[in-house]
Amino acid sequence: MTFQKASPMLARALNERDYQNPTPVQAAVLRPEAEGRDILVSAQTGSGKTVAFGLAMSAELIGAGEKIADVAGPLALVIAPTRELALQVARELQWLYQYAGARIVSCVGGMDQRTERRALQQGAHIVVGTPGRLRDHIERHAFDPSHLQAVVLDEADEMLDMGFREDLEFILDATPDSRRTLMFSATMPKSIAALAKKYQRNALRIEAAGEAASHADIEYRAVRVDPRETEKAVVNLLRFYDSPTAIVFCNTRDSVRHLQAILQERGFAAALLSGELSQHERNLSMAALRDGRARVCVATDVAARGLDLPTVGLVIHADLPHDAEALQHRSGRTGRAGRKGVSVLLVPPKARRRAENLIAQAHVEVEWAAPPTAEEIKQLDRRRILQDADLGDESSEDDSELASLLLSELGPDKIAAALARILRARLPTAEEVADPGFESEKRGARDFPPGKSAKSHKEPMPGAVWFRLDIGRSKNADPKWILPMLCRKGGVNRADIGAIRIFPNETNVEIAGGAASGFLQSMRRPGGDKIGVERLGAENNEAAPPPKPKKKPKKP
């Protein structure tokens, strides 16, 4: 299907933008059964819905002619949840209707109301705005909605979630009963159904390619993480994927501020978006993200609603979303307009079941994985440095002259080493992170078989001492997190740790004799991991294995 059914003036604009074939939602609104009817559309962010409702309301704006005629008041109104989304919609409609002669006015919070009122008085065909500002203009008689023939609610579910129901009902009640009402929503909760029932007539329900297809360009991953290493995991994910723009979601303002500070300290250009920012501060953050001065946006759900950054290739859920709808909204910030994207959930062991429920409710396929390691990132850096744009640029005469001088004075080895240091210094340092390893249980096998050593020695560890920990497989004991925990809490090095043997209700650990006394004192020190520990026997030069746990007698 092509855009043949679109108005000639709109088809011309689409052709200039190299729009060849409509997306599923655009094709749906152009079908004959949708013509002239109210429509209720389920469409994800990034599915081309702005062009879709621009095409859908063209009959009311242009009719049989090629250009929009002058009228006493605006003919179409588009309501969006946030300033950023409203301005984005206005820009999209501007180019779509450029040859149809449309005058488009935006009315959003944070802008000069007097300028908006003057623009409305000079005449507008399409008004795009946020609920609060539109209501204010109507109450002040600056905006006359009595001539409207089409009203669009963009991201209706988000507007209701943000508490705009009363404003929306006020605006819709002020419009003519004969208007067309086009509602676009990523999800369809009961609140949307109730609003549609009240303000739409015989609406055509459209599901644009279904949820799975809407997120076909998003690769979902769930990363196991120690809750104490969440920030480190975020650092490594940002370094591993190296997206032009990434969004990291947190559930609270405090978490956003804390994580942004950590990322800036690590060398990332990070901006934040949270509800406590003034409009001016929000504008500065958005400008930095759009022009590339900031590559990471740390945000809360509410602050990021309506956010449109076309270069987002990575979304990280540092805190798990509250529900499946939030997961879809967050993830929908990437994988837009045919581009590929990655959505990563950080899942600590205690939140594993909740994460699995979210994934099931969102109907997405997720690949479980460990956090990227510092070594993996190091290998990627080597390949990326070889592809650095500065290495491929043509040299000027002055550059070539200086290069010859450096070669003659220092030699190629010293110059290459210095260049490597300079290029690596641009990159934030990757972190050492552990894998809690709980995902292996779900597959029915552990990363290390029960009763086998997590670390083997070709020669017995002389003078080793065995200790018993009161955790076992029943408490998700796994060498991948036990080993770093023993080093951290026990005050020992990896070389001091011998075999780790995991049983159903306990774990036995072999510690070098010279480190045993300090290990026991450190492990029993208050704070941190509350793990019971006891010494199993005296030092043994043959490093004999500890006795196996006694089996409980069977009941007669």
Rounded to an integer, what distance in angstroms lies between the CA atom of residue 79 and that of residue 358?
Answer: 30
Q: Which two tokens stand for residue 307?
A: 């956010």
The predicted-structure confidence for 230-260, as pLDDT tens digits, reads as follows 999 999 999 999 999 999 999 998 999 999 9
Of 165, 193, 212, which residue constitutes the final position of a domain? 212
Regarding whether 338 and 235 lie in a shared domain, the answer is yes
Which of 18-32, 118-132, 328-342, 440-454 is most confident?
Answer: 118-132
Regarding whether 200 and 53 lie in a shared domain, the answer is yes
Provide, for the chain, the percentages of residues in helix, strand and coil under a 3-state DSSP scheme, each rounded to the nearest 5. Answer: 45, 15, 40
Q: What is the pLDDT of residue 212?
A: 43
Q: What is the pLDDT of residue 445?
A: 31
Residue range(s) defining the domain that contains residue 165: 8-212
Beta strands 296-299 and 245-249 are parallel
- pTM value is 0.57
Regarding whether 387 and 491 lie in a shared domain, the answer is no
The predicted-structure confidence for 156-176, as pLDDT tens digits, reads as follows 988 887 789 999 999 999 999
Of 168, 185, 212, which residue constitutes the final position of a domain? 212
For residue 492, being part of any structural domain is answered with: yes
Query: What average pLDDT does the segment 43-60 reach?
Result: 84
Give the residue carrying structure tokens 């998003």. Answer: 218
- Element housing 501 (H / E): strand 497-502
**C-alpha 342: how far from its chain's center?**
8
State the CATH number of the domain containing residue 41: 3.40.50.300
Q: Exposure pattern of 174-210 as b/e (b: 16+ CB <10 Å)?
A: bbeeebbbbbbbbbbeeebeebbeebbeebbebbbbe
Regarding whether 458 and 316 lie in a shared domain, the answer is no
For residue 235, being part of any structural domain is answered with: yes
Position 447 pLDDT exceeds 90:
no
Secondary structure (3-state) at 350: helix
Rounded to an integer, what distance in angstroms lies between the CA atom of residue 160 and that of residue 140?
Answer: 24
Q: What is the pLDDT of residue 440?
A: 40
Rounded to an integer, what distance in angstroms lies between the CA atom of residue 303 and that of residue 312?
Answer: 16
For residue 20, being part of any structural domain is answered with: yes
Count other C-beta atoms under 10 Å from residue 296's C-beta. 23
Regarding whether 386 and 291 lie in a shared domain, the answer is no
332 neighbors 187 (Cβ within 8 angstroms): no
Q: What is the pLDDT of residue 316?
A: 97
Q: What is the pLDDT of residue 512?
A: 85
Count other C-beta atoms under 10 Å from residue 332's C-beta. 21
Query: What average pLDDT does the segment 113-139 reach?
Result: 94
474 neighbors 504 (Cβ within 8 angstroms): yes
Q: What is the pLDDT of residue 540?
A: 37
